[in-house]
């Protein structure tokens, strides 16, 4: 069983924010691969879509508590491969990187998962959100990640979401050969 968890915040207010990039990737993956509609499962505190041996998850806890939903979903699926998709302010806008068995680098959603699982042994698809002129532009990271992308950034994000989905599809068919 493989579980792909997209990180984000619940509600329309956050839908197109930088911090909800994980949700956007999982939504696009579901659409491209004809998954059933996401349904809220109360005991998991998450929106779930399942097809064959693959479960897509969008936690409905806020970002900083993503680990609670992750732990609950993983608790009922033995022998699971976990992939977490999330925004990353340390990567330039439009870039993405695969990481495995690494710390959170300050991402509070990832830190919550590591804490709840007592492990960092999972794969992460980190999608960059840092604009070219980030230094001096941003006073508060917390406020920045809750902002929406501007029109030019949105074009870049649509493209990187597409590439990230393709990478997820490759991962599922061929596995990752070169993990960090």
The answer to whether residue 179 is domain-embedded is no
Could you tell me if residue 124 is inside a domain? Answer: yes
Domain count, the chain: 1
**Domain region containing 152:** 2-174
> pLDDT tens digit string along 17-41?
999 999 999 999 999 999 999 999 9
Is residue 65 in a domain? yes
pTM confidence score: 0.91
pLDDT tens digit sequence for 84-134: 999 999 899 999 999 999 989 889 999 999 999 999 999 999 999 988 776
| Of 18, 19, 58, 130, catalytic | 19
- Catalytic status, residue 19: yes
- For residue 115, the tally of other CB atoms under 10 A from its CB is 14
Separation of alpha carbons 56 and 77, rounded Å: 13
In sequence order, which ranges of the chain are alpha helices (DSSP H)? 21-32, 66-74, 108-117, 141-145, 151-174
In angstroms, the CA 76 to CA 69 distance is: 12
């Amino acid at each position: 069983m493989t579980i792909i968890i997209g990180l984000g915040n619940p509600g329309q207010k956050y839908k197109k924010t930088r911090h909800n990039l994980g949700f956007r990737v999982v939504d696009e993956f579901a659409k491209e691969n004809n998954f059933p509609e996401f349904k809220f499962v109360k005991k998991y505190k998450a929106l779930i879509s399942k097809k064959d041996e693959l479960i897509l998850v969008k936690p409905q806890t806020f970002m900083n508590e993503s680990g609670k939903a992750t732990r609950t979903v993983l608790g009922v699926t033995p022998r699971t491969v976990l992939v977490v998709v999330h925004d990353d302010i340390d990567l330039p806008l439009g870039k993405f990187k695969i990481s495995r068995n690494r710390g959170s680098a300050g991402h509070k959603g990832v830190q919550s998962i590591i804490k709840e699982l007592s492990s960092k042994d999972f794969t992460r698809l980190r999608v960059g959100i840092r604009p070219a002129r980030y230094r001096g532009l941003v006073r508060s990271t917390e406020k920045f990640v809750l902002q929406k992308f501007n029109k030019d950034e949105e074009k870049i994000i649509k493209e990187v979401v597409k590439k990230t989905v393709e990478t997820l599809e490759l991962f599922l068919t061929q596995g990752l050969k070169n993990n960090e």
